[in-house]
Chain A
């Protein structure tokens, strides 16, 4: 059974009486352990698909199954819980809270899931160790470089041990070298068996993933799953 299952997803916006079909009958499966990329030009419906996959938005019609649960009709509160428990977000602009230090930023998802202080701190430190930033736990985000900030954001995404890690242009705001390091990190998570969905407009980055979904005009233009095609092979450590 796939981890994510989209069936005939439509999303329609009304803008000044005009109907905009952002998604027009999208169906796709994402399996557990996939390293999946969503690629497409701006205005293609890529962002809308990403929001629906990330449970930030609900579709107009169609069914969405995540980890065996149908969630197309979930309330905002239920969606918040799903985001908190099942999804880890990594953003292009890192989106760390500037007034909190690194440790507190990483603790934040666990605050919303209501975990106790001691356990929060232990798990946050563990996650920071994973991204090799445990010695920066008391720093403010503004005191870190872009790559370090993104690593903190990754630690924050991992800390609740989500089923899916969702990355929206994670290297878009970094220089190419730092971007490589961040991508390496994602490859590492993939090897550990985590499910990763990477949204990008860069075909080179998309080429590194095992499952490539190309979207155009609200429809899926290409869906290439190398795992299914028997093309699964070790992904090169560096490009």
Chain B
């Protein structure tokens, strides 16, 4: 009951000095707004980074990559077998901590042609069905390769929408979505039938760009549209994902690798083509993400056997990338948080200043309250409540301001990953403001509580 009254009196006092209170609160408002908005922007950044991480196959993907043999094994270098299907078989039979293995046999200097049009895929790979789950692909049109295609090394392929855009025309350009199932394209001169096409993948950013472009279509100036250079797009994880050509791994072997997979220079200088059974990639997914280290050790042990003890491979996890992302996020949070905390502290000092001024001009009122039976504790609580109320009002205004700020940021840069306001920084901001209010009010409250009632009553 007393607390409620104290809050009501505090609110009245704040209202009685509207402009002064507003200016006092401004520090807290800005501090809270910057804290919440900053957290929202960082969250947006984090979402963007995680998005491309997922586009690359998710966090639980582990890659087995080629690596130079270590120094002490250098004399065995020409014995190094490289990654082969033997490794895949060995892993499938023995690696109990691995749930998915996807071998990939790539095609070098890959070009796809159809009619007069040419496309350069991000990668052309022979794969098994495991690649769908490994790289998180979904066949939207047509089908994936069947076991029959694998067994017979059929000349079939599944393409990403980017290849379709290059060879048949993008929906944005031709005005309708072309589904080229059944069409024949030439992969390095060999005819292949398209049996399936993947879903279109895009980041939140490109989706926004595309939507923006669609909205502005009417306003677009006539003339030749300039396409952005593919070189810059090559770095985009989503571009790479949309520009793949997948063929059955056995087809890759039969058509491109078994005759002339690699060229070897002979002693007399002539170049001889040899079959190349090596895989470019073996990607695996572990059964239990918490046991990723054990799984890696197991994979390494198995591979050391199949590789005759020659360590010509390296196991690479996405952990480094996650670690990078987390580090960036932590740094952004830390710097933003420190700035916001300083701002809140400055706001707190402002509140303390105002509370000191306020009790000095209310000495007589405080004396009257004491004569009417207010104890020191009553006065202390009154001043403290006013200070905390001021800080909390500032915090609430700051949260509202943060929403506004985020709207402005979004309007100013519509193509960036949009900031996401989360509750945690709000709770932190409010708690911190409350603490600042208590700290700022503490000293003035003690001062007011210790006023001698006689002195206070006599004060002019």
Contacts and interface: CB of A to CB of B under 8 A. Distances in A.
Interface of A: 51, 54, 56-57, 76-77, 80-81, 83-85, 89, 91, 95-100, 108-109, 111-117, 156, 160
B372 A100 contact: no
Contacts of A109: 372-373
Interface stretch (B271-279, B318-326, B363-371, B413-421): B363-371
Given A83-B371, A97-B368, A112 B12 contact: no
A114 B368 CA distance: 17
A112 B16 contact: no
B368 A95 contact: yes
B379 to A, nearest CB: 10
Interface string B352-387: 000000000000110111111111111000000000
Contact of A100 (B9, B371, B453): B9
B364 A95 contact: yes
A112 B457 contact: no
Contacts of B12: 99-100
B5 interface: yes
B365 A97 contact: yes
A56 B181 CA distance: 97
B376 A112 contact: no
B373 A81 contact: yes
Given A80-B370, A99-B12, A114 B454 contact: no
Contact of A80 (B2, B367, B373): B373
A115 B373 CA distance: 13
B373 A56 contact: no
14 contacts: A56-B454, A80-B375, A80-B376, A81-B375, A83-B373, A84-B372, A89-B371, A95-B365, A95-B367, A100-B12, A108-B372, A112-B373, A112-B378, A160-B373
A111 B376 CA distance: 14
B453 to A, nearest CB: 5
Contacts of A91: 368, 371, 457
A156 B373 contact: no
A56 B371 contact: yes
Nearest to A88: B372
B373 A77 contact: no
A179 to B, nearest CB: 21
Contact of A112 (B13, B365, B374): B374
B71 interface: no
Contacts of B454: 51, 56-57
Nearest to A153: B368
Contacts of B370: 56, 80, 83
B372 A116 contact: no
B200 to A, nearest CB: 64
A56 B458 CA distance: 12
Contacts of A117: 1
Contacts of A99: 9, 12-13, 16
Contact of B453 (A56, A98, A114, A116): A56
A44 to B, nearest CB: 16
B9 A80 contact: no
Contacts of B377: 77
B190 to A, nearest CB: 89
A99 B368 CA distance: 14
A140 to B, nearest CB: 10
Contacts of B371: 54, 56, 83, 89, 91, 95
A89 B453 CA distance: 13
Given A91-B457, A98-B365, 18 more contacts: A56-B370, A56-B454, A56-B457, A76-B376, A77-B377, A80-B370, A80-B374, A80-B375, A81-B373, A91-B371, A95-B364, A95-B457, A99-B13, A108-B372, A111-B2, A111-B5, A112-B369, A116-B1
